[in-house]
Chain A
Amino acid sequence: MRSASTYAASVVSALFASLFLLFLVAPLVGLVGAGGAAGVRQLFSDPELRGAVALTVLTATTATFFAVLGGTPLAYLLARRQFTGRALVAAILDLPLLIPHPVAGIALLLVLGRGSPLGSVLFGAGLRLTGSVFGVVCAMLFVAAPLYVAGARESFARVDRRYEAVARTLGDDAWRAFRRVTLPLSVRGLTASAIVMWARAVSEFGAIVILTYNPKVVSVLSYDRFTTFGLSGALPVAAVLVLLAILPLAALRALRGDDSTA
């Protein structure tokens, strides 16, 4: 039989957990409730919002593509190989998650801005990284890619290296063993990591607004509408941004649902 103190502790814990959940959910539910329907209507009537949504999807997808391309081998190396500087590489990968995102934008501006050596070379080659779609992609990649790498690293680490060992003794070279065994066994984790990164990229504001105010992605547009038209003007755009973030969340849940039935 449970003692009175245990019962009281359970009640207090449940109360705090409920309050915490409410704190997380209430603003989002309020936002979607207040501006969701208007936002969906505006998608059909507001070309700027429609353009911002399309740009957000395009840039977030492109950033995710590049993160998968470069981050997958890096994640594999970090999960499988012991090498000098491994801890340093892992720490560097965590940095963008720890610094304030406007600071990340300033750092990117320093390296990619037209005044920087790299920026001037790229500008000379006709590639402008600030105030352009490329700038948005760079900002999204910088702040969100570490999430993909961390998730991918976990996914690879969960695949026992002995599967690869067996594949090697069955005639596969390292690349073929990766492609035929490790990749299929970690693909769900990689997909989930890519979805998380995509959602984070969609919701990025701080770094983007430093690098590229125009063309506007949805997060920048919601800020722009807020400063121009106030809360009522920003509400529908903000609600669309939340709905956009819910889509990958639902996809992620579906993936995890598959996992639980496997």
Chain B
Amino acid sequence: MIDVNGITVRLGDFTLDDVSFTVPNGAYGVVIGPAGAGKTTLLEAIAGLLPLRAGHVRLRGADVTRLPPERRPVGLVYQHAYLFPHLTVRANVAYGAIDDAAVAESMDRFGLQLIGERDVRSLSGGERQLVALARALARRPEVLLLDEPFAALDPRRRAAVRREVRTMYFDRRCTVLHVTHDFDEAGLVGDVAVLLDKGRLLQAGDPADLFRRPANAYVASFLGAENIYAGTARPIRAASPDWVDAAVGQFAEHPLAFDTGALTLYALGDVVPGKVHAILRAEDVMLSKEAIASSVRNQFRGRVTEIVSAGALSKVTVNASGTPIVAAVTTRAVYELGLEIGREVVASFKAAAVHIC
């Protein structure tokens, strides 16, 4: 378990301020934040490399706040690997290893036996990351701290190294805290997500929950939500199977009507007086040529104002009575629906997909 309680770290002009969260034993935690959020500072504080001004760090149940790094059960892998350039691959892996068997196991796991005598300066980016992981794991740490380990890799290498890390994680079941600025990566690998910005904790919890139910509009925007609307919410009586399903499921909240501009969105949530926000992720919006007969409560007719293609996925903006609704659809669907600028379409989404905060 990684239990960080109210830690404050001062580093020049930057302050990591009063950060608290818990990653349970054997869980995979992900710290998400932009550059300068304090992600690496957080990892270095947990590893004991930076002194705390306040707070406590507990690892596997033991308070390690006052222990030096070498006495903490952690392994740390930086984005740029920091392999010791004066040592070979094998010597790097063996550097802090508990015994020869651990070296051999780590070398085998990451397929490094054939390059064991290589100069680390001759390795590719992917190989360097694998050596850094092998080196950290040869010490058999109970907690593994990963500082953007895939960021410097090309997409193919990234997928391969990510796969290795996941396999290692499932085999070893050590507790992992993985720092990334990539929201997709966070969603792919994490059990617990910690959102940091400018040295402050914005939100922590289940990654799916974080993405679906951000604490506020800023967090939603930070996590890449495309549709964020300001408006007011009012309670209404439940009248849709869509809502009934949700009410007995995980979203045990009240049916609401949310007024924004000329649109009224139907949503589930707690009634908050005054101005609130409705968050809708683009992937929850469906597009069709005509209105569809279904339990989907929110259906708005509008015209396509923008189509942005990024490989297999495209983002289509529909102007519905002056309110833009962004939908993420497959690029194939764009062609099949004959979508083009000015084309009239219907944007549909479930009330359960609208999060009020």
Contacts and interface: CB of A to CB of B under 8 A. Distances in A.
Interface of A: 160, 162-163, 165-174, 180-181, 184-185
A160 B44 CA distance: 15
Given A162-B78, A165-B44, A166-B76, A171 B70 contact: yes
A158 B141 CA distance: 29
Contacts of A180: 95
Given A168-B48, A168-B70, A171-B139, 17 more contacts: A162-B82, A165-B47, A165-B49, A165-B82, A166-B76, A166-B135, A168-B68, A169-B69, A169-B72, A169-B75, A169-B76, A169-B96, A170-B75, A174-B68, A180-B95, A184-B86, A185-B86
Task: Give the size range of B's interface with the partner.
Answer: 20 to 34
A170 B44 contact: no
Ordered nearest first, which 4 A-B pairs have the shortest CB separation?
A: A170-B96, A168-B69, A169-B76, A171-B96
A58 B76 CA distance: 47
A169 B82 contact: no
A163 B132 CA distance: 12
A160 B83 CA distance: 11
B95 A169 contact: no
B49 A167 contact: no
Nearest to B48: A168
A181 B49 contact: no
B36 interface: no
A165 B76 contact: yes
A165 B78 CA distance: 10
Contact of B70 (A169, A184, A185): A169
B337 to A, nearest CB: 51
A165 B69 contact: yes
- If over half of A's interface residues share one DSSP class (helix, strand or loop), that class is named, otherwise mixed; here it is helix
B70 A166 contact: no
Interface of B: 44, 47-49, 68-70, 72, 74-76, 78, 80, 82, 84-86, 95-96, 135-136, 139, 141
Contacts of B47: 165, 168-169
Given A165-B44, A165-B69, A165-B76, A170 B82 contact: no
Nearest to B135: A170
A170 to B, nearest CB: 3
Nearest to A168: B69
A166 B77 CA distance: 8
Contacts of A169: 47, 49, 69-70, 72, 74-76, 96, 136, 141
A181 B96 CA distance: 12
A249 B141 CA distance: 48
Nearest to A161: B49
A194 to B, nearest CB: 19
B68 A170 contact: no
A184 B214 CA distance: 49
Contacts of B48: 168
A120 B184 CA distance: 75
Contacts of B72: 169
Nearest to A159: B85
Nearest to A185: B86
A180 B91 CA distance: 12
Contact of A173 (B70, B78, B96, B139): B70
A115 B257 CA distance: 95
Contacts of A162: 78, 80, 82
Contacts of B68: 168, 173-174
A162 B79 CA distance: 11
Nearest to A171: B96
Nearest to A177: B70
A55 to B, nearest CB: 37
A94 to B, nearest CB: 24
18 contacts: A162-B78, A162-B80, A165-B44, A165-B49, A165-B69, A166-B135, A167-B96, A168-B69, A168-B70, A169-B69, A169-B70, A169-B72, A169-B76, A169-B141, A173-B70, A174-B68, A181-B84, A185-B86
A170 B139 contact: yes
Contacts of A184: 86
A172 B75 CA distance: 12
A171 B71 CA distance: 7
A90 to B, nearest CB: 18
Contact of B95 (A170, A173, A174): A170
A166 B86 contact: no
A172 B84 contact: no
Nearest to B139: A170
Nearest to A160: B82
B239 to A, nearest CB: 58
B308 to A, nearest CB: 38
Contacts of B44: 165
Contacts of A172: 70, 96
A25 B148 CA distance: 53
Contacts of B49: 165, 168-169
Nearest to A169: B76
Contacts of A168: 47-49, 68-70
Nearest to A164: B49
A191 B85 CA distance: 18
A163 B139 CA distance: 16
Contacts of B86: 184-185
A114 to B, nearest CB: 48
A95 B325 CA distance: 68
A184 B310 CA distance: 47
A184 B135 CA distance: 19
Contacts of A165: 44, 47, 49, 69, 76, 78, 82
B69 A185 contact: no
A162 B44 CA distance: 10
Nearest to B141: A169
